[in-house]
Chains A and B, each alone.
Chain A
Amino acid sequence: MSSNQPAALPSPVEGIKTRSRLLRGTIADGLVDGATGALAEDDTHLLKFHGSYQQDDRDVREERRQARLEPAYSFMIRTRLPGGVCTPRQWLALDDLATRYANGTLRITTRQAFQLHGVIKRDLKPALAAMNAVLIDTIAACGDVNRNVLASANPLESALHAIAHEWATRLSEHLLPRTRAYHEIWLDGAKWAGGDEIEPIYGPTYLPRKFKAAVVVPPHNDVDVFAQDLGFIAIAADDDPRRLAGFNVTAGGGLGATHGDAATFPRLADVLGYVAPERALAVAEAIVTTQRDFGDRSNRRHARLKYTIETMGLDAFRAEVERRASCRFEPARPFAFTTSGDRFGWTRSTDGLWNLTLRIPAGRVADRRTERGEVRGLTGMRAIARVHDGGFRLTPNQNLLIAGISSAHRSQIEALVRDHGLNLHETATPVARDALACVALPTCPLAMAEAERYLPTLVDRIEAQLADVGLAGEPLSLRVTGCPNGCARPYLGEVGLIGKAPGRYNLHLGADAAGTRLNRLYRENVDEAAILSALEPLFARWAAERQHGERFGEFLWRSRVL
């Protein structure tokens, strides 16, 4: 619809960015306005660049409207944490903030970041200041900029993980906005006195839309590199598998789409070619500035890099990047991915230390009691952080890796995990263990349907169906989102549900388990009964006809169901 029309006018958000004086707007004034729990409308767009979203509790929106009360506003805070790596001291600081200012949960996102939810306006500034005091910032965690950079959380290859993490950090810092607005507003830094403050990479209007980057170490595609705007696939040296030779660079992935708008679609990234490490940052910057200058600024639904590449053509895009980076891509080096899931439980790294990967459903570290038992996640992780002398890594599948555990500490940490019910990696069923869901209702303003709150029920129903055909215990990647914007990467699930309305979803089937093939729309706008009755015969056929170890997504393709 709108994206089909020639629309030369910049979108309203472009105007807001232009007028913002490098992301300042009137945020500082809004923070001290005691008559409302919200910020000014325009400032809510700018706030994202500072790592926070204004949200409201949609469950009570209507009753509050009738009561002539504004919506129950609160703020989500998202950290910038390249590669999802943090220290026990940082964990304890975040735990304290979650308890003091937020809703008592620490949420791990699919971008290896932490989110705090439910922070009210007057607590926003103290919370950000406390975070910065332990060297965690939130700059560019959201907004039309390069977001938190992912890195493989590979627990085995400690040398390669260190390299991936180092590059994620360099990339994140190279592409960071340079405005002083963040320090002024949140950290009481000196006010900008005017003069020549500039954004050397982004310019005054930043990017047309969000921009996502990842560094991945094959064969483990936990970052879903083909879903990223920019990807670095680490290629090991021929003579030493633990030394980095260079990167295959990918561009143009992105999973967001808009229902009913044919000009929008999920897209996997293209491999542009291979570059040596010393060229990598220049190439990344060239890709960013090409998107800055060629991206669609009139329609935000059509503004991601993937559409820029579709519009320019891949060859023209590659040539423009090469021109800007003053280098040429070499042919891509061979690589292969085998899986995108996490490797749960205990593993031992090449440096001899131990790692434990915990399953954290929907990434929510919280103390809560469900019919499945009690999980004291927040308390348990606090106890672990107090004794642990290694580090933590958040995985892109919203799980948590306790890294670098010495043999002496192993049994202590094992006991703490069990005591607090954090051992879902041992107790959860395979479908539950690998499933992803976004936050959705009630806080996400984009949600059209439930996701996280609905996932446990759906997992139970699907596992019951699998058990009926004798496939209990089989892995299956299930992903549910409340809208088509793709936060839990639903287009890469063997079974993906994408919310359309309360209780109704589009059912997508048939992605592969390694994140290299998108699934396809199988049923449109259906309710749970229709989803289950669509799956039931397919599971039965899979059980009857599968080849040895064949996964559901592969079976659907081989048997031409799709």
Chain B
Amino acid sequence: MTQVAPNRSAALPLPDPAREAALLQLASGLDAGQLRYWAGFLAGVAAERERSHGSAALGSTAATTTPAAVASAARATVLFASQTGNGRRVAERLHRQLESQGLAARLVNVADYRQRDLITERLLYVIASTHGDGDPPDDARSFIDLLTGRKAPRVAQLAYSVLALGDSSYPKYCETGRLIDRRLADMGARRLAELTEADVDFQTSADAWTQRAISCAREQLQSPHLAIVSAPPPAQNGTADREHPVEVELLTAVTLTARGSERSVAHLELQAPALQLAYEPGDAVGIWHSNPAETVEQIAMAVQADLATVVTIQGRSHSLRDWLTREREITRLSRPFLDAHARRAANPELERLRTAGSDEGLRTLLRDWQPVDLLQRFPAAWSAEELVQALRPLSPRLYSIASSRAAVGDELHLTVAAVDYLRDGQQRYGAASRYLTRLAVGEAARVRAYVEPNPRFRLPEDPARDIIMIGPGTGVAPFRGFLQHRIEQGSSGRNWLVFGGRHLRSDFLYQTEWLEARRNGTLHRLDVAFSRDQAAKIYVQDRIREQGVELLRWLEGGAHLYVCGDAQRMAHDVHAALRDVLVTQGGRTVESAEAELAELAAARRYCRDVY
């Protein structure tokens, strides 16, 4: 492609008109710089095809090369981590100079740089400031976490060079740049030039580094050989399911609620091998947990049993401790166990509780009491064997998946509210949340998991459809996955999130991610209701009523509506609010509003995932 063809139809094979029209449509709206970039990119693709398959081969390269890899192969990335702006200015200059030399380059603030950028990147220039004594710029903290964390990827495809800025009156000056340079090498990247360290009078060193960077870039970019992204290792087994969970590593665990919050919610990231844990946004993950040791001990003490006792049931022998820890449900009270215990205890007060207010007493017992509460409060004689037999087998807990594979690769994220309260002066736990939130990140922390598909809670097939997501508290989890997916898909439909919690300052789950999405235009509306930040309590249903006109407009435009979270009150209140909006803003009768919501549900445009 060194020669300009004098006449397109004579020099090149004639493109078919349909394809040309499609190309022109794609190109409309791009400015000259972007057009030149894509021209260079397509030329690179062509060169690669000629090199590896001869000029006639079509399509085969694309099959082994991801678009991101092609794009990153054809350009340099100038990444800056700047506190006061000096680093940014050096980066802008390098970027301008690369472009003026006709080399494809992009300029990225380190705050916007993600793992998926790094694993496809071919040529990276990093300008990193250090402020104070060894501190990274605020923007760089996530990137440093990525490089130094357990999830640091291998980046053998990457060539790089680092310019470190600092103030040598501090002992650990240039530390950020040094760290990035060292870690990238550790991760398998190829250093194009030794680290350059620049003091307060950085200009001379920076100029020399910039010149070297430009000549390196010229060499690297003018002999394009495309990155082949290696396929994930074949899975050993098939898809995991409830009876055949796969044991995977816990990669990350962080608390999402602030210090001092009345609630504690954790964000967990699990390893998710593509075959065993394939999932779609909206699916749930099942977790097989172990029961809290404290509860196991309290139960044994209540029935005066020795936890070392071996109990054999249907030919399976375990210690009582193992039965209670891994085989039996001990934090949820079942009706048969309640009845069995009541018969043994023969306690009039318990009888009164069971029968108070017809079904109400029973419902309260089953909802609020754990087996241990019953055993302690109304003692009865149980042998270890009888007890194990009377308790239900352990069942896994389901959590909405809070990620999309398109964004996080072979990971699965979940959002777990810790159930944790005092009863009669004793700590009570939710079994699985206690189990998950006590796991320490590391090799030893392995979790038995499987994916529970949830086909009734899916993004619209048509990416141009708008979506409205109503998810207070941990109900927001699937919507994180939804939004990740829509962004990665490049969906043109709009996204609207309605979130609720107690306090803005402490309980806004994934706040910075939502705000960033709103800022960059991928989350089009964000409404929040914090119930306890003002005298009058405000909930998501109040926001729905307030925004009724807009909500109707979205629904009339074909939007899909999703509700996730508490089934007992929230889902009911939200449903009532939706009906009210149809009545008061949409002029329906109550009956026709209900009918319309039912139709939306039947058409899978009103989906609920409530628990």
Contact = CB atoms under 8 A, between A and B. Distances in A.
A68 B504 contact: no
A533 interface: no
Interface string B504-517: 11101111111100
A327 interface: no
Q: Looking at chain B, what size class is its interface with the partner chain?
A: 35 or more
B297 interface: no
Contacts of A259: 167, 169
B259 interface: yes
Nearest to B170: A501
B199 to A, nearest CB: 9
Interface in B123-178: 132-133, 138, 141-142, 167, 169-170
B259 A525 contact: no
B200 A1 contact: yes
A35 B258 contact: no
Contact of A69 (B138, B169, B200, B511): B511
B526 interface: yes
Contacts of B515: 35-36, 70
A197 to B, nearest CB: 31
B141 A67 contact: no
A34 B528 contact: yes
A34 B504 contact: yes
A501 B133 contact: yes
B605 interface: no
Nearest to B257: A67
Q: Looking at chain A, what size class is its interface with the partner chain?
A: 20 to 34
Interface string A61-99: 111111111101000000000000000000000000000
B201 interface: yes
A500 B169 contact: yes
A500 B526 CA distance: 40
Nearest to A258: B84
B254 interface: yes
Contact of A260 (B142, B169, B504, B505): B169
Given A1-B201, A35-B508, A68-B267, A122 B533 contact: yes
Contacts of A67: 254-258
Given A35-B514, A68-B512, A69-B511, A504 B133 contact: yes
Contact of B511 (A1, A70, A122, A261): A70
A413 interface: no
B512 A35 contact: no
A1 B86 contact: yes
Contacts of B442: none
Interface string A51-65: 000000000111111
Contacts, number: 85
A524 interface: yes
A64 B258 contact: yes
B490 interface: no
Nearest to A524: B169
A448 interface: yes
Contacts of B504: 34-35, 37
Contacts of B527: 34-35
B409 interface: no
B85 interface: yes
Of the listed residues B202, B256, B504, the one surrounded by the most CB atoms of chain A closer than 10 A to its CB is B504
B200 A260 contact: yes
Contacts of A69: 256, 258, 505-506, 508, 511-512
A101 to B, nearest CB: 13
Given A66-B254, A69-B512, A1 B169 contact: no
A293 B526 CA distance: 43
B518 interface: yes
Contacts of A72: 258, 505
B399 interface: no
A370 interface: no
B513 A68 contact: yes
Interface string A251-287: 0000000011100000000000000000000000000
14 contacts: A35-B518, A60-B259, A63-B259, A68-B513, A69-B505, A70-B511, A70-B512, A72-B258, A72-B505, A260-B167, A260-B169, A500-B170, A501-B170, A504-B133
Given A1-B201, A68-B511, A259-B167, 12 more contacts: A34-B527, A61-B138, A63-B259, A65-B512, A68-B510, A69-B256, A69-B506, A69-B511, A122-B534, A260-B167, A260-B169, A448-B132
Interface of A: 1-2, 5, 34-37, 60-70, 72, 120, 122, 259-261, 448, 500-502, 504, 524-525
* Top 8 closest pairs, chain A to chain B, by CB: A260-B200, A501-B132, A501-B133, A525-B169, A68-B512, A35-B528, A34-B528, A35-B526
Interface of B: 85-86, 89, 132-133, 138, 141-142, 167, 169-170, 200-203, 254-259, 267, 504-506, 508-515, 518, 526-530, 533-534
